[in-house]
Amino acid sequence: MRVLALGLALAPLFPPLALLAPLFLPWLKGLYPGALGLLAAYALSLLLPALFAPEPLALPLALGRALYALGLVGAGVALARRGVGLRPLGYGLLPLYLSAFLATYLVFGDRAWTERLMHPFHSPVGLGLMGALGVLLALYLRYPLLLRLFLGLLGGAVLLLSGSRGGMLALLLGGAGGLLSRARGGG
């Protein structure tokens, strides 16, 4: 299972590995009913609009996105049950950040710093959310100091250069949630 989870963690860099995601769907059974309801609402929010879309591929593509997202949650549950937690995610985000900087530079050249950050497989909004996640991981998880600085600075740069308001909101809410959790003795 660890090898499959590692393969799925590399999916942002090698998209065909996303086909491993449905293998982790059985792990969702261990979640609380409220969490399962939230995931069902998310899946429905993807599938219902696609059901009424005029494009014939809208529903199969939405189903693929839903299975991929739910499989990622299942992989997270599998890793958490094995005591691995979120630490490997920080290591996986670093190549994603570097590939986004490289892709932006290859497309725009010297003008790269005046354009929104881009990636071959992710939208600027997704990059912003991943940047916020990197900053939060650097703040709240115990990494070696150099990795913590590198992850936090690169994550912050990706967040700012992507221009994602959703990523900024995620950082604000995640930071507030982390502070509340620490204040209550949760970490």
In tens, the pLDDT along 109-147 reads 988 888 899 877 777 888 888 899 899 999 988 889 999
Final residue of a structural domain among 38, 58, 81: 81
Q: How many distinct structural domains can be found in the chain?
A: 2
What residue has token string 């799925």? Answer: 8
**Alpha carbons 67 and 85: distance in angstroms, whole number:** 22
Domain match, 176 and 113 both: yes
Domain extent, residue 144, equals 87-183
Helix (H, G, I), strand (E, B) or coil at 159: helix
What is the pLDDT confidence band of residue 78, given thresholds at 50, 70 and 90? Answer: confident
Q: What is the predicted pLDDT for the residue at 94?
A: 85
CB of 107 closer than 8 Å to CB of 116: no
Q: Note the pLDDT tens digit of each residue in 7-53.
A: 766 666 677 777 888 888 998 888 888 888 888 988 998 899 999 99
